[in-house]
A and B are shown apart, each in its own frame.
Chain A
Amino acid sequence: AQTVTQSQPEMSVQEAETVTLSCTYDTSENNYYLFWYKQPPSRQMILVIRQEAYKQQNATENRFSVNFQKAAKSFSLKISDSQLGDTAMYFCAFMKLAGGGNKLTFGTGTQLKVEL
């Protein structure tokens, strides 16, 4: 079974600064997807960024980028130029491609607070 670990329950960052959220996972699979989701107080789950394991290039989406280290099974999220609207719970998630039923396995989350 796959496990996803987020070792930072809470983090804070000043507005306009950069913050990195950590995520590690454990799997014996070679083909899989990794995701970062954001859950603001509205509780809506919002996809932030996605990484295919077969791609060496790190995914980027505007101010959001990842550092994907497949050998180390690490998948950190970097948020640049942090904004107040980035305040949310961030979940790292794993999905295996073969025989996984397309199910997402989530980490325990990191509560990010962006401060003035």
Chain B
Amino acid sequence: SAVISQKPSRDICQRGTSLTIQCQVDSQVTMMFWYRQQPGQSLTLIATANQGSEATYESGFVIDKFPISRPNLTFSTLTVSNMSPEDSSIYLCSVDSGKNYGYTFGSGTRLTVV
């Protein structure tokens, strides 16, 4: 299955700043997914990133707040912009590993906004 390298693993940021999270996959994948996991909560899909097109955002998430890049089939970034303490969460990227829909996740980025 695909192996994902996600970084940073954690960060503490000042409110009003932005953080860019990177995910590198060891194989080419069509779709990459970005999830948010708020403290003690389940995973919520932020957006789906396809190479060569705009990301598709879920209800409640907007491009200005969570811009996504997908420059090629192995890499994607998620930026959390103009951060507030409410953005403190774990952010995870995910890809379809290709083996009959077995999704692989990155190790997550634990973001704390102070």
Task: List residues of chain A with CB under 8 Å of any chain B CB.
Answer: 33, 35, 42-47, 50, 52, 91, 95, 101-109
Task: Name the distance in Å between B4's Cβ and chain A's nearest Cβ.
Answer: 10
Say yes or no: A95 contacts B56, CB within 8 Å.
no
Q: Which residue of B lies closest to A49 (CB)?
A: B102
Assuming the A-B contacts A43-B90, A91-B42, A108-B42, are A102 and B105 also in contact, with contact meaning beta carbons closer than 8 angstroms in the complex? no
| Sample of 9 more A-B contacts, CB < 8 Å, known A43-B110, A101-B31, A101-B56 | A43-B107, A45-B43, A45-B94, A47-B102, A50-B102, A95-B101, A102-B96, A102-B101, A103-B33
| B111 lies within 8 A of chain A by Cβ | no
In Å, the complex CA distance between A46 and B42 comes to 14
Say yes or no: B43 contacts A91, CB within 8 Å.
yes
Interface of B is mostly: strand
In Å, the complex CA distance between A70 and B35 comes to 27
In Å, the complex CA distance between A103 and B31 comes to 10
> For A42, A47, A52, which residue has the most chain B Cβ atoms within 10 angstroms?
A47
In Å, the complex CA distance between A108 and B110 comes to 19
Interface size on B, residues (CB 8 A): 23
In Å, the complex CA distance between A44 and B92 comes to 9
Assuming the A-B contacts A102-B31, A102-B96, A103-B48, are A44 and B42 also in contact, with contact meaning beta carbons closer than 8 angstroms in the complex? no
Say yes or no: B48 contacts A35, CB within 8 Å.
no
Contacts of A35 in B (CB 8 A): 103
In Å, the complex CA distance between A57 and B58 comes to 34
Contacts of A102 in B (CB 8 A): 31, 33, 48, 96, 101
Say yes or no: B42 contacts A106, CB within 8 Å.
yes
Say yes or no: A107 contacts B45, CB within 8 Å.
no
In Å, the complex CA distance between A101 and B45 comes to 12
Q: Which residue of B lies closest to A44 (CB)?
A: B107
